[in-house]
Amino acid sequence: MTATVLVAGGNGYIGSHVVVELAAAGFYPVVIDNLANSNPEATRRVTGIAGRDVPLLVGDVRDGAFLDEVFRAYPIDVVIHLAGLKAVGESVAKPLLYYDVNVGGAVGLFQAMDRHGAKRMVFSSSATVYGDPVTVPITEDFATGATNPYGRTKLMIEEVLSDLVASDPAWQAISLRYFNPVGAHDSALIGEDPNDIPNNLFPFIAQVAVGRREKLSVFGNDYATPDGTGVRDYIHVVDLARAHVRATQALLQGTIAGGAHMPINLGTGNGVSVLEAVHAWRRATNRPIPYEVVARRPGDVAACYANSELAEKLLDWRADFDLDAMCRDHWRWQSRNPQGYGEPG
Ligand code: WQD
C-alpha cells in the first residue's frame, strides 16, 4: 500500500526537493503551502520531474479548518513539516511574526495531526539550535542554545515534540537538524529562489556568477579558522531530501519507536570555508566571482559542522554529493533560471 506523506511547506526550496525524492521512492506526496515564500511554479515543475500529479493545496498551517479539510481528504500516514520562516536577521527584527508562524504554526499542525490520528512527524529543524558550539564536529548530545529568535523557534518546536511524544506514546518524531543546504536537482527545473537580496552564501555567489550582483562581501577573514573565513557544513539539497525519505521510512518501519523523539544532524561532516567555497564556484562556473573582505556579520560563529554518524546509523543515510557537485548543480539551476521562477531563462 502506498503511504501518503503530507509535506507542509512542500512548495519551497527544500520542500520541493523532498517531494521529488518521496515520489521517486514510491510515496504519495501531498503538498500544503501558503505561498508566502515560494512560487507555485515549483510544484508544477515537481509534477513534471515526478511524472505524476502532486496535489498542491494552498493554505496556512495556522488555519485549523484548512488542515481538517486536508486530513479528511487524504489518508495521511506521515507529516513532514517544513513550513516556516527562516531568515535569522528578519527574526531579530520581527520576533512575534516568527513565534506566530513557526511555533504557532507547528502547534496548530500537531493539533490537527492529533485530531486525525496521524502521529508520525519529520520536523525540519536547524543546526542553529546549537548556537556557538564549544567545539566541532557537533553531535546531537551537544548543549543547545540558540542565539536568535529563528533558532529559538526551532528549539521550542523540538521541545514541543519531546513533550508530545512523552504524553502519548502513539506519537513518533524525528527532528532533522539541517546544516547548510545548497545545490539543486540536476534537472535545473527546481532550486533556491530567494525573494530579495540573498542572506546566504551560495545563492549570493550564484547571483554574482550570473551577473545579478557585482561582487561577494566576505564577512570577516579574522576568525580562528585555517584561512580566517567562516567554516560551515554545506550539504547538497538532494542528499538532504533523501534523508527525509529515510526518516519517513524509519517512522513507518518502527526504527524510531512510539514515544520517541530523535534529533538527527544532517550534514556531510566536512567543514568548508567561505574562500574554499568561492574557489569551488570558480571551478564550477569558470567565472571570476569577485569578492571583497568586509567586517564580520553580527551573530556569525567561526566554525559549525556536523558529526553525521547518527544519521548513518539510524537512517542508513550518508551524503553522496561533494562540494564541486553542489556548486555545479546550484550553478546549472541559476544559469538556466537567472530570475528564479519569476522568468524562465
Ligand atoms: C555561511 C558563511 C557567513 C553570506 C544560515 C542560518 C541557518 C540556516 C543556514 C536555516 C558564513 C558567510 C554569507 C555573504 C559571507 N538557515 N557569508 N557573505 O549563517 O551558516 O546559516 O543559513 O536553517 O539557520 O543561520 O549560512 O550562508 O548565511 O553563511 O561571507 O554574503 O558564509 O559569514 O561564514 P549560515 P550563510
- Per-domain boundaries in the chain: 4-336
230 Cβ inside 6 Å of ligand 1: yes
**Ligand 1 touching residue 219 (CB < 6 A):** yes
pLDDT at 345: 37
**Distance between CA atoms of residues 70 and 32, nearest Å:** 9
Q: Whose CA is nearest to atom 26 of ligand 1?
A: 200
* Confidence (pTM): 0.97
**pLDDT for res 344:** 42
pLDDT at residue 195, rounded to an integer: 85
CB 258 within 8 A of CB 305: no
How far apart (Å, rounded) are the C-alpha atoms in residues 269 and 179?
10
Residues 6+ apart with CB under 8 A from 114: 168
Q: Whose CA is nearest to atom 17 of ligand 1?
A: 201
Closest C-alpha residue for ligand 1 atom 14: 201
Q: What is the chain's pLDDT, residue by residue, as a tens digit (345 residues)?
A: 689 999 999 999 999 999 999 999 999 999 999 999 999 999 999 999 999 999 999 999 999 999 999 999 999 999 999 999 999 999 999 999 999 999 999 999 999 999 999 999 999 999 999 999 999 999 999 999 999 999 999 999 999 999 999 999 999 999 999 999 999 999 999 999 998 899 999 999 999 999 999 999 999 999 999 999 999 999 999 999 999 999 999 999 999 888 999 999 999 999 999 999 999 999 999 999 999 999 999 999 999 999 999 999 999 999 999 999 999 999 999 999 999 998 543
Q: Round to the nearest angstrom and report the end-to-end CA distance of the chain.
A: 40
CA distance 9 to 11: 6
- Which of 125, 152, 219 best tests ligand 1's pocket when mutated (most atoms within 8 Å of CB)? 219
Residue closest via CA to ligand 1's atom 10 equals 86
Amino acid letter for position 288: P
**Beta-carbon contacts of residue 319 (< 8 Å; ≥ 6 apart):** 235, 236, 239, 267, 268, 269, 308
Please state whether beta strands 272-273 and 231-232 pair in parallel, antiparallel, or not at all (unpaired): antiparallel
| Helix, strand or coil, per DSSP, at residue 8 | strand
The CATH superfamily holding the domain 4-336 is NAD(P)-binding Rossmann-like Domain (3.40.50.720)
Is 28 a pocket residue for ligand 1 (Cβ < 6 Å)?
Answer: no
Pocket flag, ligand 1, residue 86 (CB < 6 Å): yes
CA of 281 to the centre of ligand 1 (A): 16
CA–CA separation, 287 and 313 (whole Å): 40
Instruction: Write out the catalytic residue numbers.
Output: 150
Return the ligand 1 atom nearest residue 301 CA.
34
Query: Would strands 28-33 and 4-8 be described as parallel, antiparallel, or unpaired?
Result: parallel
Grid cell listed for 85: 520562516
Q: Is the CB of 333 under 6 A from ligand 1?
A: no
